[in-house]
Structure 1
Amino acid sequence: MQQYLSTLEKSWFELYQHYQFSEPQKVFNKLIAAYSEKQRAYHTLQHLYECLILLESIRADLKDAHAVELAIWFHDAVYDPPAKDNELKSAELFEQYLAQDLSIDIIQKIKRWIIATQKHKVTDELDLQFLLDIDLAILAASPERFDEYEQQIQQEYAWVDPDVYSIKRKQVLAHFYLIEPLYQTEYFQQRLEQRAKSNLKNIIE
Structure 2
Amino acid sequence: MQQYLAILENSWFDLDRHYQFSEPQKVFNKLIAAYSEKQRAYHTVQHLYECLLLVGTIRSDLNDANAVELALWFHDAVYDPQAKDNELKSAELFVQYLAQDLSIDIVEKIKLWIIATQKHEATNELDLQFLLDIDLTILAVSPERFDEYEQQIQHEYAWVDPDVYSIKRKQVLAHFYQTVPLYQTEYFQQNFEQSAKNNLKNIIE
Give the TM-score taking structure 1 as reference length. Answer: 1.00
Distance 1:66 1:55 in 2: 9
Structure 1 stretches lacking a partner, 5+ long: none
Task: Name the counterpart of 1:81.
Answer: 81
Confirm or deny that 1:56 pairs with 2:56. yes
Q: What value does the CA root-mean-square deviation take over the aligned residues?
A: 0.3
Offset at residue 173 of structure 1 (A): 0.1
Task: Name the counterpart of 1:200.
Answer: 200
Task: Name the counterpart of 1:9.
Answer: 9
Distance 2:127 2:21 in 1: 22
Q: Deviations over 1:125-180 (max 9, x none)?
A: 00000000000000001000000000000000000000000000000000000000
The alignment of Structure 1 onto Structure 2 pairs a total of residues equal to 205
Give the TM-score taking structure 2 as reference length. Answer: 1.00
Task: Name the counterpart of 1:102.
Answer: 102
Question: Percent identity of the aligned residues?
Answer: 84
3-state SS in 1 of match to 2:101: coil
Distance 2:94 2:65 in 1: 17
Offset at residue 48 of structure 1 (A): 0.1
Task: Name the counterpart of 2:175.
Answer: 175
Distance 1:141 1:188 in 2: 12
Q: How does 1:16-165 map to 2 (within 5 A)?
A: 16-165=16-165
Structure 2 stretches lacking a partner, 5+ long: none
Offset at residue 54 of structure 1 (A): 0.6
Displaced runs of 4 or more, over 4 A: none
Distance 1:107 1:100 in 2: 9
Task: Name the counterpart of 2:188.
Answer: 188
